[in-house]
């Protein structure tokens, strides 16, 4: 069957299959209109996907590296050749991001498949210096089997491709559990995998219960998860019970430091994107701002001026700020902002539902000043369009307060002082540090967090190693009896008090 937003389906490469479970409407967060329908995978549908994945992986793991790379390049070719207009529109209508961001995310995933195609072809193992004459000693890497990919709604296609490309390159089959809020666009994207062997990639819609079944199955062997800290901890516990490796990216509350040496015009412009990109629904959004006293007022003035120029509206229109993904997401943002204001903070901009957009889950991009480190908006992940600014006396205090958090995903600094830049890179307790250019990533560098923000890494060599296990191999090509084998010669023993000791 062809994919239709109005008919619940799951995907087992190369086919879409109708689903039999109860239908659930998908609601546009901007208009509250129905976009389509989805359903949760039944036990039978999960079984069908896992059976296909197990069969496909048995053959896939035997492919030589060059052939596997050719398949991944074919996926990249399919991405580059496809028309993703419908997929992007579905994403906008499902979760609200502006259309240019949706189409950009969807269309720009080819490089990750090319990167891992060549990395897996080049990195087969390691020959070690021998510990014994006549012995060939080396490590080889092998796939786990079937990997589960539990995806978020904010970058449902890009983050899926990060881990799926690595897992396929390592020799695994992949079962994707999309976010409920972006199931339709994820399913629509599955056509890019049709050149791969039958059953190698599947997409099973559902909620947390579907993820739990997939993690608990004895036919899955590794897990990649992106989402909240609470859900990430639950996934980690479930994986531990099954002794399954997992990669967990669990979000954060990223700090952004404005030094006295910051280029303020650049810093203000960069901070707008760092704080408000995707309506603040980015795991690495800058939420906690620490601005040195000597530049505080001027920075806030510039930051507010640039923020007020942002357009709020439906992601299908010309806009930078779309709706939040759900009513619950907006309610959390409002709770944290209202609490901060009640405790003495001031909304320089925003702090309210925009009067012109009272339908849908919109909220104005908000800058709060007078924030103190004990406020809930500093201690929790807001995940909305809010920048909470704390005034600090110097760079050292900024670093200390930035680190005073249970999170440690990313951290940003604006400064023209080289010593401060290096000191920030060394002292900030985060998996990623950006100086003067927040939020960017690199396929060849590891992406992930410290502390409650996650376990393991995506991208780079570590991203590939997350989906394969090592095996030490020792081969003696001239079999011989070794002098340390049993029984020990008498000369190895000594008499002490009537007892023998080796």
Per DSSP bridges, beta strands 386-392 and 366-369 are parallel
Q: How far apart are CA 7 and CA 38, in angstroms?
A: 7
Q: How far apart are CA 351 and CA 385, in angstroms?
A: 10
Do residues 401 and 369 touch, judged by C-beta distance below 8 A?
no
Q: Please name the residues in contact with 418: beta carbons below 8 A apart, sequence gap of 6 or more.
A: none
468: helix, coil or strand? strand
Q: How far apart are CA 92 and CA 283, in angstroms?
A: 19
133, exposed or middle or buried, with CB in 10 Å at 0-12, 13-18, 19+?
exposed
Structure tokens at 367: 């800058």
Is 239 marked active-site? no
DSSP codes joined into one string, 341-406: HHTT-EEEE--S--TT--SSS----EEEES--TTSHHHHS---SSEEEEEEESSHHHHHHHHHSSS
Give 206-262 as a 3 state SS string: CCHHHHHHHHHCCCCCEEEEECCHHHHHHHHHHHHHCCCCEEEECCCCEEEEECCCC
Do residues 467 and 170 touch, judged by C-beta distance below 8 A?
yes
104, exposed or middle or buried, with CB in 10 Å at 0-12, 13-18, 19+?
middle
**HSE of 250 in the Cβ direction (CA atoms, 13 Å)?**
23
Q: Which of 87, 239, 246, 283 is catalytic?
A: 283
**HSE of 22 in the Cβ direction (CA atoms, 13 Å)?**
2
Q: Which of 89, 101, 249, 364 is catalytic?
A: 249
Give 256-314 as a 3 state SS string: EEECCCCCHHHHHHHHHHHHHHHHHCCCCCEEEEEEEHHHHHHHHHHHHHHHCCCCECC
Is 382 marked active-site? no
Residue 376 neighbours by CB distance under 10 Å: 14
Positions marked active-site: 249, 283
């Amino acid at each position: 069957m062809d994919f239709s937003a109005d008919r619940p389906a799951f995907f087992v490469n190369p086919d879409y299959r109708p689903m039999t479970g109860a239908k659930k409407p998908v609601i546009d967060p901007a208009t509250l209109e129905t976009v389509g329908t989805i359903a949760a995978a039944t036990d039978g549908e999960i079984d069908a996907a896992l059976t296909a994945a197990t069969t496909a992986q048995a053959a896939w793991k035997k492919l030589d590296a060059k052939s596997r790379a050719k398949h991944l390049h074919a996926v990249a070719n399919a991405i580059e050749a496809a028309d993703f207009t419908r997929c992007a529109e579905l994403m906008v209508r499902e979760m609200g991001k502006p259309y240019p961001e949706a189409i950009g995310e969807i269309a720009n995933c080819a490089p990750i498949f090319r990167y891992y195609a060549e990395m897996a072809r080049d990195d087969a193992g390691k020959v070690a210096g021998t510990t014994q004459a006549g012995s060939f000693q080396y490590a080889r890497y092998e796939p786990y089997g079937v990997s589960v990919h539990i995806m978020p709604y904010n970058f449902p296609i890009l983050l899926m491709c990060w881990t799926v490309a690595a897992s396929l390159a390592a020799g695994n089959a992949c079962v994707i559990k999309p976010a409920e809020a972006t199931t339709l666009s994820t399913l629509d994207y599955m056509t890019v995998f049709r050149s791969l062997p039958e059953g190698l990639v599947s997409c099973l819609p559902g909620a947390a219960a579907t993820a739990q079944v997939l993690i608990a199955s004895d036919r899955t062997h590794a897990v990649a998860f992106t989402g909240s800290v609470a859900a990430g901890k639950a996934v980690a516990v479930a994986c531990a019970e099954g002794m399954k490796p997992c990669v967990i990216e669990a979000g954060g509350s990223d700090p952004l430091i404005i030094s006295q040496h910051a280029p303020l015009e650049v810093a203000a412009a960069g901070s707008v994107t760092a704080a408000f990109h995707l309506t603040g629904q980015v795991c690495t959004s800058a939420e906690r701002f620490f601005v040195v006293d000597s530049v505080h007022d001027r920075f806030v003035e510039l930051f507010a001026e640039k923020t007020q120029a942002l357009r709020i509206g439906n992601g299908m229109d010309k806009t930078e700020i779309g709706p939040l993904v759900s009513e619950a997401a907006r309610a959390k943002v409002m709770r944290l902002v209202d609490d901060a204001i009640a405790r003495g903070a001031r909304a320089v901009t925003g702090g309210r539902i925009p009067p012109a957009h009272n339908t849908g889950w919109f909220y104005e991009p908000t800058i709060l000043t007078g924030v103190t480190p004990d406020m809930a908006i500093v201690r929790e992940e807001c995940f909305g369009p809010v920048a909470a600014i704390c005034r600090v006396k110097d760079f050292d205090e900024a670093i200390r307060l930035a680190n005073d958090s249970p999170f440690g995903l990313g951290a940003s600094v604006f400064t023209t002082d080289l010593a401060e830049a290096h000191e920030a890179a060394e002292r900030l307790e985060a998996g990623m540090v950006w100086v003067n250019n927040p939020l960017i990533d690199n396929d060849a560098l590891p992406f992930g967090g410290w502390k409650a923000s996650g376990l393991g890494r995506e991208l780079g060599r570590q991203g590939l190693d997350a989906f394969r296990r090592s095996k030490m191999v020792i081969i003696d090509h001239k079999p011989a009896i070794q002098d340390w084998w049993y029984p020990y010669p008498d000369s190895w023993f000594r008499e002490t008090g009537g007892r023998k000791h080796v």
